[in-house]
Chain A
Amino acid sequence: MNLFQAVTSALDNSLAKDPTAVIFGEDVAFGGVFRCTVGLRDKYGKDRVFNTPLCEQGIVGFGIGIAVTGATAIAEIQFADYIFPAFDQIVNEAAKYRYRSGDLFNCGSLTIRSPWGCVGHGALYHSQSPEAFFAHCPGIKVVVPRSPFQAKGLLLSCIEDKNPCIFFEPKILYRAAVEQVPIEPYNIPLSQAEVIQEGSDVTLVAWGTQVHVIREVASMAQEKLGVSCEVIDLRTILPWDVDTVCKSVVKTGRLLVSHEAPLTGGFASEISSTVQEECFLNLEAPISRVCGYDTPFPHIFEPFYIPDKWKCYDALRKMINY
C-alpha cells in the first residue's frame, strides 16, 4: 500500500470497530483531495463520512464538540497551511478542556489529520510544516509518520488515544512511499521514537519525509567518511521521547537534527536544548540543526530552501571534524 491507502485502511478499521467514529472535512466525501478517504462514504454511509463547508475554525470547533460528547471525531484539514484559523480552537479549547474542567470533560476522542510538508511545487501555502507551533501547547499530541506502515499504526493509536491528537501526513509520500501494510488493525505506540539504524559516531534525528533524507546521509557518511550513524525517527513530536534520543547521544556524543520548518523556533531547538541539558558532558561537538531558512516557504527557490542531503552531510562532516 502507499501512504494514502494506508491512511484509508486505518480509517476503515476505525469506522468498523468504533460505531461512534465519524470522518469530516473539506471534500472527504468523494475521497479527499489526496484520496485518503476513498470508498469510506459508500461503505459506512453519509452520516459517518461527510463534507464540511470551507471553515477550518468551524471544522475543529465542531470536532471538539463531537469529541466532548464521547463520539470519535476524525477531522481533516485539507492542508496543514490552512490549520491556522483553527489554531485558537486547538490551543485554547481542545488542549485545555480536560485541565480546565478538572477532568470532568475532555475531547480526547478528537484526531485532526492534515497533509504536511514540502512537495516540490507547493510554494508558500501548500508546503508548510507547522509542528513547532503546536509543540508549544501542552494538552495535545502531535505525530508525524515516515512511511505507510508507520502511518497506519500511528494513526490508529492517535484515534484510540484519549487525548486530542494532530496527525500530520507528509504529502510528498502519499504516492511515493509504498510498503507492505497489514489489512488488520495494529498500533504503534505514541511518544516512542524508533532507532532505525544503529551506529556509534553520530546521532541523526528527524521525522516525516526528512527521515529518508538522513538515512541517505547516514549511508553517504559510512561510505565516504567511514562514520557510523545512528538514525532516529522521532515519530511523536509532542510529547517527545527524550530518553531514546539522550541515550543515543550519550553513546555517540554528536547530534544532528533536521527538519524542513524554519530554523528559529523550529522543533530542533527544543530537542537541542533538552539534550544539552541532559547530556552536556557527553557532547563532543555542538548540536547541529539542519533546517529550512528563516523565510516564508519559497515557490521558485524550493530546491535551495530545503535541508537536502548535501546540507546535512556538510553539517555532519563539520561535526566530525570539530
Chain B
Amino acid sequence: MLAAAVSRMLSDITPKPATSRVLVASCDYSNDATFEIKKCDLYRLEDGPPVTAMLTREDGLKYYRMMQTIRRMELKADQLYKQKFIRGFCHLCDGQEACYVGLEAGINPSDHIITSYRAHGFCYTRGLSVRSILAELTGRRSGCAKGKGGSMHMYTKNFYGGNGIVGAQVPLGAGIALACKYKENKEVCLTIYGDGAANQGQISEAYNMAAVWNLPCIFICENNRYGMGTSVERAAASTEYYKRGNFLPGLKVDGMDVLCVREATKFAADYCRSGKGPILMELQTYRYHGHSMSDPGVSYRTREEIQNVRSKSDPIMLLRDKMVNNKLASVEELKGIDVEVRQSIDEAAQFATTDPEPSLEDLGQHIYSSNPPFEIRGVNQCIKFKSVS
C-alpha cells in the first residue's frame, strides 16, 4: 500500500527514469492473468482451441512492444513514402498486428512462414531488425535483401518472404511443409494468403496436395475484408474462408485479439505436428491503410467503418486494456514503451535514409548460381556484369 502510494506520488511529480519507476512499482503487478477469449468457429473439427488464455506479464509486455513496433514502423514507412524515400509499391499492415505477433507466439522459431506482399509485420516478428526492414524499403545496401527486393521481397531464416504475385506463395508453402515431413523434424509451415488470393486456382491445388500427402501445413487466410478495393462479398461465392478447404478442417479466429490468435495457432500447430495433416485458419482482421500507398482506402469503405474498428477492436488498444485492467502493467509503463519504440523507429529511419545504395555491380548479381561467374548480356558494352552466386 505504502509502496503504491509512493510510486503514484513519484510518477505524478516528475518524469523519473524508467528503471526507478519499475523498481518501486513492480510489486504492484500480478505475474499473470487468465482471460476468456472468443470461441473459434470450427469446421470438420471436434474440438477447438481453449476458450481461456493465460498471459504472463512478461509475455504481455513483449507482445505489446512488438505490436507497437510494427505499428510505428508501418506509420514511419507511410511517412517515408510520402517523402519519396521509399518508392515503388508499399503495402502496409497496421491494424493487423495481432495476427503477426499472435502467430509467432504460437509457433517455434524453427517453424516456417511464407506470406504475401503485406509482409513487414512478419519480417519483424521473424527476427529482422527494424533497421534492415526500413533500409530494404528505401533500397539501401544494409537492407535485408541487399536493397534489391524492396517492400514485397524480404527474407530471413525460416521466413520465405514476401511474394509479389498473389497466391503464388501457397503451393510453395505446401512444398516447404513437404520438406518438413520428409526431414521428420516436427516442424510446420504457416502458409499465409489473403481473402483476394483465396479465389486463385493454385490455392485449391495446394489444399489438395497437402491433404493427399498429409503435409504439416497450416493454411492461413488473412481476411481483412477487402481484396484491394473489392469487398469479400463481391469477390467470393463463399466468404467462409475457413470452410473453403472443403476436405480440410478449419478454424475461424478473431484476428484482432493477440491471445485468440496465439491459442488458435498453438492448437493448429499441435494438430499438424501430431501428424493429422493440414489445417486451415481464417484470421478475421482489418487494415487501416488502403491496399497500398497509392490507395487512399476510402473509396470502397467509409471513414466511419475504419474509425469504428480503430475505436472498438484496435489490437494494441485491446491488449493494453487487458493488461492495465488486470494489473499486468500500468498505463505509464506502457506509455514508456511507446516512447522507446518511437525513438528506436526514428533512429532506424535515420539510418535507412542515410545508408548508401547498393553498388551497380549488384544489378547483375545473383541471377544464376554459377562458378565461374558468367557475363550478363545487355546493351552497354562498357559495363559487364557478372552473375555470381
Interface residues, chain A, CB within 8 Å of chain B?
26-27, 30, 51, 53-55, 57-58, 81-82, 84-85, 121-126, 263-264, 289-296, 298-301, 304-305, 307, 311, 314-315
Contacts and interface: CB of A to CB of B under 8 A. Distances in A.
A54 B200 contact: yes
B6 interface: no
A289 B380 CA distance: 10
A84 B139 CA distance: 27
Contact of B234 (A51, A264, A291): A51
B54 interface: no
A298 B360 CA distance: 11
A55 B199 contact: yes
Contacts of B360: 301, 304
A311 B229 CA distance: 40
Chief secondary structure at chain A's binding surface: loop
Contacts of A84: 165
A314 B380 contact: yes
Contacts of A289: 379
Contact of B362 (A85, A125, A293, A301): A301
Contacts of B336: none
B148 A54 contact: no
Nearest to B84: A121
B148 A298 contact: yes
Contacts of A30: 229, 299-300
A305 to B, nearest CB: 7
A44 B274 CA distance: 56
Given A55-B201, A85-B202, A290-B379, A305 B363 contact: yes
B166 A124 contact: no
A109 to B, nearest CB: 24
Contact of B148 (A51, A263, A299): A299
20 contacts: A27-B229, A51-B235, A53-B230, A54-B196, A54-B227, A54-B235, A82-B166, A84-B165, A85-B200, A121-B87, A124-B153, A124-B164, A263-B377, A291-B379, A292-B379, A293-B377, A294-B377, A294-B378, A300-B150, A301-B363
A319 to B, nearest CB: 13
Interface in B341-376: 357-358, 360, 362-364, 367, 376
A289 to B, nearest CB: 7
B149 interface: yes
Interface residues of B, number: 42
A290 B377 CA distance: 11
Interface string B210-251: 000000000000000001111000111000000000000000
A165 B1 CA distance: 81
Most buried by A among B147, B234, B357, B380: B380
Interface in B104-128: none
B139 A263 contact: no
B165 to A, nearest CB: 6
A55 B202 CA distance: 9
Nearest to A54: B196
Contacts of A122: 88-89
Nearest to B149: A299
B167 interface: yes
A295 B367 contact: yes
B148 A53 contact: no
B387 to A, nearest CB: 8
B357 A300 contact: yes
Contact of A54 (B166, B362, B376): B166
A125 B149 CA distance: 11
B188 interface: no
A315 B148 contact: no
Nearest to A263: B377
Given A51-B234, A53-B199, A57-B201, A293 B376 contact: yes
B236 A300 contact: no
Contacts of A124: 153, 164
Interface in B173-197: 196-197
A57 B88 CA distance: 26
A51 B234 CA distance: 9
Contacts of B43: none
B385 interface: yes
B23 to A, nearest CB: 48
A83 to B, nearest CB: 11
A290 B385 CA distance: 16
A120 B63 CA distance: 39
